[in-house]
Structures are given as structure tokens and as C-alpha cells.
Structure 1
Amino acid sequence: MVDLGNVQALVARSSTKPLLAVLLFRFGDPAHARAFLKQLMPRAAAGMAPDVGGPTFHFMFSWNGIEALMSGRAGYDVAQGRREFDIFFVDPTQAPDGGIAPQLGFLGASAPRTWWDRRFTSSQVDLAIHIGFDSPEQKSDCLAEVRRSAASSGVEEFALDGWDDRALSGCRPADGRLHFGYRDGITSPNVDWQDTGAAGSVDFREIVVGYPTEDYPTAPLRPGIWQDFARDGSFVGLSWVYQDVAGFNQFLKDNAPLAPANVDPAFAEEWVAAKLMGRWRHGSPLSRFPDGPPPRPELDDGFGYGDDSAGIKCPLGAHIRIVNCRDQPMKFANRVRFPKGPPRVVRRGFSYGPHLEGTQDDEKDRGVIGLFYFARINEQFYTLLRWMQKTDFSDAYSTIPNGLNAQDALIGNREEVKADKTFHVPLAAKSALTLQLKNFVRYKGVVILFSPSIAALRLMM
């Protein structure tokens, strides 16, 4: 059982603040960094309680940041901590901008050399602070306060001058729709924080560390001071993702005429969009409503793919079918890796940039800032990124042309030379459509961080 009062709030639940921002920092002198954090860390939100008035803070650190703050602390051997923490957290070669970048889809226009507006690298980030605000005025005042504190403490902010706030900032759309028009926040896993084993829930060990078992061998594996430090913390994949809305809208328009005759031409673009995602854009799943959306969104997440092995209801390459394959059988090796089912993550984040209609690109930056929470970096976050780039994790994909080299219809990076760029859409009577996919997104920055527990935050001050 997890003490949710010891878990930072953004891990346990989504923020309800309408305005959000993430600021990135590099430490100088550790003593000065501690002084900076002492001013802010008491404002860290915890647990499941609703957001209160005023800014809400959430803190995330790189290993280098943790090492700087914990060096010299009685009983904490940081060299031992480096050996005990997840290797994909402490080893720069295993970082998103390291040698494994291409297999995660970070190549071409999404290559790490292009990230963070070429101002800094992911490995230079020691601290990220996520802040939620109630109003533009509150945001302006709070950002100014945090920046004054950082400057007076000798902590360097990695400012992004291309943004109005010089930081990753945006909003939680009032209608829940992101730039591609899809409703967001539908499939957040029901985390079993009380360890009841309830059907349909996700084991909390999939999200926070410090409770390793044979099925969930989370690091640090050994009982001791570093496992205690890590307990109730969660790894975070902080991602800046640009969305090519004009290109996406053009793709829908170009491919709408290929929809089968039973699809109303006025509705054909929505039909294509639903096939790419695996949901109608208002949120109802294709697996339950394959022929058309219900008048009102039906958001019950209790569905599977066991009765749709060919992908007639929901194409095999649809985004939600890859990132959560549910009851679709995985290959034997993956069933051994994931005995409790496919990897799951908690997804938070917000939209940024102005809304765009139509197919004319205004050359403005827009997309999503994603925060993905998990307990094992390689077995969860990196695995899902790999599956989006190459769908060879299930034998089901061998039933479609070159399916083991196919990609996620929405997120796949078409610059991967060996990838199949086609999207196979089965229809009735053994017929099918083949759509030629394009790049709809581009990664502009990814960094792996750690969201410590409230107790660990206090230790670092």
C-alpha cells in the first residue's frame, strides 16, 4: 500500500490548473542549489487532494541533480546510489539523446542534435519544475518570483527565447481537445494504490519505485538507504512534441475520398482520423463503435481487441492499439518480459501554441508537452517508443503486409529507413485500404527525470 501523502500530486492525479509551465535549470554550487530549493519545495503538492488556490509545484531531477544535492550527506554514498539506480537513468549512453536515440524514433528532424532549440542538451538539465496557475497574472508573478530566486542563488535557467514565457508553457484545453482534434485524458490508468489486485487496475509498482517484486523488479532492488530514498518516487519522460496540424489536416482531406462507399463523404475525414487513432475524435473507441460515433461520447475504457484480430474494427496500426494492446497477444518474449500484461504509463501534460484550422501552415509552433510517469525506463517508456517505431511486438502484425515493420499511424517517424510507411486499414469482405503515412509529429526535446517523494524532497533541501 502506498502512502499517497508521500507521492507528488502530479504522479497521483492530473492538474486541474488551466495554465501550466515547465522551467528547466542547471545547478552550479550545490549549496546555492539547496538554498534555491528550500524556498520552493515546501510548495510541492502531494497526494490526491484537489488543487488549492495559488500556484502548484511539482519537482523532477536528473541523476546529476540528485547526485549534486546528496553528495556529502551523512550515510548517502552517491557512487553506490549510481550503481543502484536504474541504469537507464544514470548512464548517459542510455539516455534519450544517447546511442539508443534512433531506435526510439529520435532521428532525422527529431534527432537530439535539434532539441531544445539547439540551446542546450538533455544531459545538462538538473531540475525541471512543473507549475500550475489559475490566471495569466498569477503565472506572470510566479515565474518572475522563481526566476529572481534562481538568479540570486546562482542557479541557471535554460530559457527558451522562442516562447512568450521563455519556458515550456501552455494550457489545459477547456474542451479537452488537443491540436489534432482528439479528446484527451480518456485512458489514464486506474492505479491500484491500495494493492487490492482489482480487475482492470494497474499495479502501483508499474508507476512508483521502492516496492520491487519478481514481476516488477524496479531499481533500486536492494533494501537500504537508496531504496528508501527512491520509494514513492517515479521516473518521468518529459517530452516536447511539435504537431504538424496543417499537414495532418491535409492528410485527412487527401485520403477522405478513399473511404468506403458506406461512409458519408461529408464524414469521411472524421472516419480517416478515427482509424489513425483508434477512437473517434470525441473519444468513443472504434472497438465498440466501428461504423460511426454515438451521438454522445461513450468513454467506457473496458474494451479489448480479442474479437478483432484482423483489425477490421480498429486497425492494428492505430495509435491506441499500439500503446496499450490490451488483450491482444504479445510475442512469447514480451509475455515473459511483461507477465502482468503490456507496459502502462501515467500520462500528464498540456497543449501549447495557437489553434489552427485548415491546411495552410502559419509556421507557428504548437503541440504538446508530455510528462509520462513509470517505474522502469526501458521496460515501459522506451519499450512503448520502440513499439511505435516498429510493430514487431505481436504476431498479429504478421497478418498484414510487412506488418512487423509497420509503425504507429500517428506517432511513427517515417524517416526510419527500414520502416513500412503504409497504413493497412482492413475493411469488410477481406478488402483493405492502404494509406501512405507522413510525419505528423516531431520531437523537440526529451529528458528522463525522477519525481522524488515528498520525504525525499525534504532530504535534498
Structure 2
Amino acid sequence: MFLFNLFKSQATQDATSSSLIDLSNVQGDVIIGLQKRCEAFWFCSLKTDPESIEGFRKKIKSDLLPIITTAQGVIDSQKKIDFSFSGIKKLGLKTEEIPTGRDGVFSKGQKVDAVENLGDPVDQATKKLKTWSNEFLDEVNSIDFVVLITAPDLKLLNQKLDQVRHAFGGHLSNSFVRQGSVRPGEQLGHEHFGFLDSISTPKIEGFNAQPEDEKAGIIQPGVILLGQPSSGGTSVGLDPNQAWLKDGSFMAFRELQQLVPEFQAFCDDSAKKNEELNASGDFIGARIVGRWKSGAPLSLAPNEDNPELRVAQNFDYLDELKQERCPYAAHIRKSNPRNGSQAGGDSQKTILPHLMIRNGIPYGPELTGEETDSKKTKENRGLLFVAYQSEIADGFQLVQKIWCNNPRFPAQPAANVSSGLDLLIGQISDGSPRTAQNIIPAVPGGNTDPNNTLTALQPFVVPLGLVHRSIIR
């Protein structure tokens, strides 16, 4: 989080110093999620006149720096700030010192990334993004920075948001807000499709302890933080003049609308069409996700839910090369193949360096009876997805483009099967139907059937916007 050193001496830290993580040098939410029941993202565009820029810099020093939450600080209301490439330029900082990412993903911006790499729906004639909200498409007011505020209740959240708006509003040409909150009652911790979320957040070497029986793998600090050691080629090294960047990170923010009644209807209808399975829609949903709604993984509970396994991590896919329990196309297997991507593959080099720290939050109202009855979404709801990594092209972008959108990933020649798309978040830019294999098993236990294809004629997760930001310390 390079913000702490933006406005003070840049000669106080050695970019090649100890690999131990200094929690006071890392913005909150990056490796320790901010405590959140409610969360606001305030997206801001700076005025360009010198007086406004200088006034903004002074306000950061006087009003925001003292209350930015580090990974070591825990308070009721917590704040962090992230800058875009355009925002860094407007502030007059040395953009040549900022890692722009492989293929310039950070400097090119999120719209280019969405069209060229992520598969977001586009008009095939104009190549314009079709589903994004107008605020994210604004060509006049670039999003220069984001302030993230979390709080234990909505009243305190709005109070803190108003304080920040009052402090900085005069220096802005435009701003807008996205807010989310945890779901109520028994759905606490679950996203709107009903599945327990954020179970498989990777642990970081030197920071987290990993239980002996856990098989999720542990990543090195450099996968998430700039200037820290890593393996697999994803570590972003820093020159001496970039010491002020150490322990910074890059954030990918995604507003994802979830079509909940359509997804549930699809699962229910798919179960009815395959009566020989004697299965429910929840079983089909579990096959699409790779976990039951409780969080129990199919690899340990293939035929029925077992809530006692809701946060289980003591599994991988080395013994599932023929998809006996969890399909290749299941969301959690596509987005984190663990050790089961290729026979003999080294996950330390091929999988772990591409994982991210994810700290999103649901947004929008609960499902209504009218929506359930009509099987049609009427209210906007979904997930404000946030991912942190030291290299966007090796983290968020790769997972979406090379893993979830790729019908041949994970590759397994020995099994002679192709997985298909991730039916949950996989995207096809031209809107073609999305297919996945073996979601419907030959028998309830899940035998491989390369010809058993499930087709979804519509997406169930719709991207409404994307923002790439550097987390400045």
C-alpha cells in the first residue's frame, strides 16, 4: 500500500530488505481483511487544475493518512485508498517507477483489459462493453482513486463516508459510490446464490500457519506484495528507487450482478431433465460450484451435503483425474485447481503463484417471492468482488482468461476429457451459449462421461464494471 510513503521521504526503506512482512507497512484488507458488515467503495475523479491537485495532496496528509488502516490496526470504522494510473499521473508522481504490469495491464486500464482479455460481453460491431454501468464507462471522468470504508453498521458507514466526502469533495470532478453488506441471519458469510464464500483464501508463507492436513497450498508473500520473494515467476522485484513501493499491491475491483432466480431455475430444470439421477437442483448447483451451499466440498461429500465439512481444505484433485467426485468445470476447480491441473505438474510453479487474496462483499436486496415465482431477476444484487495481487496479469486476469474462460482448462490428457467453461463466472464476449462437461454425472457418484455436456443459454453472473488500482502505502 504505497500511500504512506507517497508524501514523505522515499529513502527510508530498502526494497531488498528482509522478507518478513511488516504489517504496519501493508494497508488493511490486503492480507488481513478489514472487519466488515457494511462496506462502501467511493470512486473519485480528480480535477486537473494545479490548485485542486495541491489541495487534494494536503487533504490526504491532514485528513486521510492518519486514519488509513494498516494490517496491524483494528478499529470499528476502517479506511483504505487505492490509486489508478491516471490518478498517479495527475498527482505528479513518477509513473515510470510504477510497475505497469505485464503487457501494460495497469497503465492501459480496465476497459482494454475487459475487452481484450476477460471476455466481458461486447457489441461485436463497435467492440463497446454492453453490460457495464455508465459510471464505469465514463470517458470524461476517469476513476483516479477509490476510498474503501468498512463499518459494523450502515449508520456508522454513512457517517464516515460523509466525512470523507466533505474533506475531498471540493477537489473532485465526479464521484459515485457502491455499497455492500453481509447477508442476514443464517446466510451470513454466503453470497446471493446461497454458497458459503471466501473459504479458500490462500495462506501466506511467513504470515499464516497451515494445518498439517490442509492441501490448499501456501503462497509466498511476493504473490500478493511488491518487492517480496516469490516463486513461479510472479514476484515483482523493485529497484532501489522503487523502495517506496515495497509491500504495495494491486487491486482488481469487479461489480458482478448475480441472476439468482435464473440460476436456481437452471439447476432445478437440469435436475428434472435427468430424472435417473434422482437429484435435486441443489445437487446440480453443487456440481457447478464444486461445493454445497454449506461450503462442504464435493471432493469430500460427493453425493449429499455435510455441513460439518463447510470449511474443509484437506483435499486436492490428484486422485480425481477422471472427475469421479468434482467436475473439471466446477467453479472452485477452475479457479484453483490445487494439485490436479496436470499429471505430474508442480503446483508451486503452475498454480500457487496465480492465486489472489479475495475480500468481496454482497450487495443488493434479498431475493423476493415474486422473483422466485417468475424465475426472473427484478432487483439488482450481486457481489462487489475485490482481489489483491502483485501482478494483475498473473493473478486476476490469468484466472479469468486462462482458467475460467478456457474450455480446455484444467488440461488432463490422461483422462481424455475437456472441462468446458466455468458456468458460474466464465465469460464469452459474443454471448454464445456456454457449455461444461460432466456437470450432470453418468451416475450420482460422478463417473466421467466426455459426451455429457450441460449448456447454459445465458450467463448467471453479469459484469457491470471493473477497476484496476494500485494500493499505495
Q: Name the TM tier (shorter chain).
A: 0.7 to 0.9
After TM superposition, give the deviation of residue 329 of structure 1 in Å. 3.2
2:225 equivalent to 1:208: yes
2:28 equivalent to 1:12: no
Distance 2:437 2:256 in 1: 22
- Within a 5 Å distance, the mapping from 1:349-368 to structure 2 comes to 349-357=360-368, 358-360=372-374, 361-368=376-383
- Within a 5 Å distance, the mapping from 1:91-130 to structure 2 comes to 92-93=107-108, 95-98=109-112, 101-108=115-122, 112=129, 114-118=131-135, 120-121=137-138, 124-130=142-148
Q: Which one is further off, 129-138 or 417-426?
A: 417-426
SS at the partner of 1:42? Answer: helix
After TM superposition, give the deviation of residue 303 of structure 1 in Å. 0.7
Q: Which one is further off, 236-245 or 298-307?
A: 298-307
Q: 1:224 aligns with which of 216, 228, 240?
A: 240
TM-score in terms of structure 1 length: 0.83
Q: 2:175 aligns with which of 139, 158, 161?
A: 158
Q: 2:196 aligns with which of 153, 173, 183?
A: 183
Q: Which residue of structure 2 aligns with residue 290 of structure 1?
A: 302
2:69 equivalent to 1:45: yes
| Residues 90 and 378 (structure 1), Cα distance of their counterparts in 2 relative to 1, 3 Å cut | closer
The alignment yields a C-alpha RMSD, in angstroms, of 3.0
Whether the aligned pair in 2 keeps the contact of 1:238 and 1:447 (CA below 8 Å) is yes
Distance 2:398 2:290 in 1: 20
Q: Which residue of structure 2 aligns with residue 308 of structure 1?
A: 320
The AA in structure 2 aligned to 1:394 is P
Q: Which residue of structure 2 aligns with residue 299 of structure 1?
A: 311
- Within a 5 Å distance, the mapping from 1:313-324 to structure 2 comes to 313-324=325-336
After TM superposition, give the deviation of residue 257 of structure 1 in Å. 1.3
Whether the aligned pair in 1 keeps the contact of 2:364 and 2:382 (CA below 8 Å) is yes
Q: Which one is further off, 383-392 or 410-419?
A: 410-419
How many residues align structurally?
427
The AA in structure 2 aligned to 1:347 is R
Distance 2:83 2:438 in 1: 41
- Within a 5 Å distance, the mapping from 1:8-407 to structure 2 comes to 8-28=27-47, 29-38=52-61, 39-49=63-73, 51-53=74-76, 55-71=77-93, 78-82=94-98, 84-87=99-102, 92-93=107-108, 95-98=109-112, 101-108=115-122, 112=129, 114-118=131-135, 120-121=137-138, 124-152=142-170, 154-159=171-176, 167-174=177-184, 175-194=188-207, 200-211=217-228, 215-219=232-236, 221-226=237-242, 228-259=243-274, 261=276, 263=278, 265=279, 268-330=280-342, 338-339=349-350, 341=352, 343-357=354-368, 358-360=372-374, 361-386=376-401, 387-396=403-412, 399=415, 403=418, 406-407=420-421
After TM superposition, give the deviation of residue 377 of structure 1 in Å. 1.2
Whether the aligned pair in 2 keeps the contact of 1:278 and 1:321 (CA below 8 Å) is yes
| Residues 17 and 189 (structure 1), Cα distance of their counterparts in 2 relative to 1, 3 Å cut | same
After TM superposition, give the deviation of residue 80 of structure 1 in Å. 3.0
TM-score in terms of structure 2 length: 0.81
Whether the aligned pair in 1 keeps the contact of 2:106 and 2:468 (CA below 8 Å) is no
Whether the aligned pair in 2 keeps the contact of 1:150 and 1:156 (CA below 8 Å) is no
Q: Which residue of structure 1 aligns with residue 455 of structure 2?
A: 436
Gaps of 5+ in 1: 72-77, 160-166, 454-461
Whether the aligned pair in 1 keeps the contact of 2:296 and 2:311 (CA below 8 Å) is yes
Distance 2:232 2:448 in 1: 40
Whether the aligned pair in 2 keeps the contact of 1:259 and 1:271 (CA below 8 Å) is no
